[in-house]
Amino acid sequence: MIAAPPRTSVRRVAVASCIGTTIEFYDFFIYGTAAALVFPKVFFPALGSTAGTVASFATFAVAFIARPVGAMLFGHYGDRIGRKKTLISTLLLMGISTLLIGLLPSASTIGVAAPLILVLLRFGQGFAVGGEWAGATLLTAEYAPPGKRGLYAMFPQLGPAIAFILSSSTFLITGAVLGDSNETFLNWGWRVPFLFSIVLVGIGLYMRLAIEETPVFRANQAQRALDGPDAAPRTLPFLDAWRYQRKEILLSAGALATLFAFFYLGTAFLTSYGTKTLGFSRPFVLMVGIASAVVFGIAIIVSALYSDRIGRRKVIMASCVAALVWALALFPILDTGSPVAFVLGMFGTLAIFGIAYGPCGALLPEMFQTQYRYTGAGLGYNLAGVLGGAIPPLIAAPLASTYGSFAIGLMLAGLSVLSFFCTKALVETKDHAL
């Protein structure tokens, strides 16, 4: 039997996980903001406005392709050598990739090499996030006392909300200091948030080095040592997860696909849509993003707490129903061109994202066995990222230009239906022992 860790230990892990995911997603989000505001002109100037935006968001989507690969590699080591050591590696990889993006010369300086290197560094970001999320949620879920996994697994889930506030604020402050000069911002101002991230990485490393490995993982390793090397031959965690819980991996990927689609829509696409299509100023769009992230964070807290009471499935299914309705209403509301409508669009999109995001920090770790939990949870989560986060960025702009913005809503509505039925097919996990 595993002794319950002291409450101070659980709280320290919760705070460390929240800070870690905040830093990882800050790095991830500033790329999305830059992809919307500056990368088409800095790295794809020869393609023109529309094609440059599509190319920029294609590099944004590269990270979602990299995430399942990162989930497999870091999941392997997270299940073999421990959650803590692996999370230190993901943080370092993310920090180095982000710093190098901030130092990368523009296409006007080094030509076609600039976008090629950008894609490589974006792959590094996605690779790191692919290993980050599962490890951070496992830290809190495996430390949490029974009946409170939704509460404690909420803390790493808050990281993206805080990160979105930080990333939007950094770009807003940079623009204010530079006097909102487009030329200065395009030349070097956009680099400041990327370079600043190295400070946050230092803070995150300090926090992660101060925590211990989870008691669940330590107990599993101790049991393996007692059983001896021949008691249960070890295979690759990826192969075990796919062999024994393939259904859970695929269903969780479908269940969370809408979550990722709304994540992309509410953070990157609406930033671009607000400035380029609706003609709002960059400071206004960034301030709306900051306020929306507060709504996002509140939705995460409320939904995570409710998931401990009524179950993870019911909360996520409710978010899918809300997403279906909202997907069809969003662009008719936005296309009125009203600032109030844009605020409402951002708030609604990120609130629905938050409702789905709160419970999944506990749901996925509860679905998989300890010996391949890191790998299984990471695979399900990041395959959802491919379906909901990689495909919409590639087709949203062409859909809008060919069929109108309502076509994006239809695409999102289709994903919402898929996620609803995949969630319905899952088994409720809130009372599962880890």
Amino acid letter, residue 227: D
Pair of tokens at residue 303: 């939904």
> Could you give the angle at the alpha carbon of 306 between the alpha carbons of 350 and 327, nearest 5°?
30
In the chain, what percentage of residues exceed pLDDT 90? 22
Determine contact, residues 134/119, Cβ cutoff 8 Å: no
pLDDT digits (tens, 9 = 90+) for 253-277: 999 999 888 887 777 778 878 888 8
Q: How many CB atoms lie within 10 A of CB 175?
A: 21
pLDDT the model gives residue 297:
93
pLDDT digits (tens, 9 = 90+) for 313-341: 999 999 999 999 999 999 899 888 899 99
Domains of the chain (ranges, CATH numbers): 10-217+241-425 (1.20.1250.20)
On the question of pLDDT at 227 being above 70, the answer is no
On the question of pLDDT at 8 being above 60, the answer is no
* Residues contacting 131, CB < 8 A, separation 6+: 70, 71, 73, 74, 75, 78, 86, 87, 89, 90, 378
Which residue bears the tokens 């696909």? Answer: 257
State the pLDDT confidence band at 235, using cuts at 50, 70 and 90: low
- The Cα 310–Cα 244 span in angstroms is 28
Cβ burial of 133 (10 Å; 0-12, 13-18, 19+) is buried
Residue 103 vs residue 268, higher pLDDT: 103
Give the residue among 379, 372, 389, 368 at the shortest CA–CA distance from 71: 379
Exposed e or buried b for every residue in 45-57, given b needs 16+ CB within 10 A?
eebeeeebbbbbb
- The Cα 343–Cα 286 span in angstroms is 11
- The Cα 115–Cα 105 span in angstroms is 10
pLDDT the model gives residue 1:
45
- The Cα 222–Cα 204 span in angstroms is 29
Pair of tokens at residue 51: 């094609």
On the question of pLDDT at 186 being above 80, the answer is no
Taking the model in full, what pTM does it have? 0.81
Residue 187 carries which DSSP code?
I
On the question of pLDDT at 148 being above 90, the answer is no
Task: Please give the average per-residue pLDDT across 153-181, as a whole number.
Answer: 82
User: Which of 4-18, 309-323, 331-345, 404-418 has the lowest average pLDDT?
Assistant: 4-18
CA quadruple 190, 196, 200, 205: dihedral sign = positive
The region that residue 200 occupies, defined by phi over 0 for left and psi between -120 and 50 for alpha, beta otherwise, is: alpha
DSSP line for 75-129: HHHHHHT-HHHHHHHHHHHHHHHHHHHHHPPPHHHHTTHHHHHHHHHHHHHHHHH
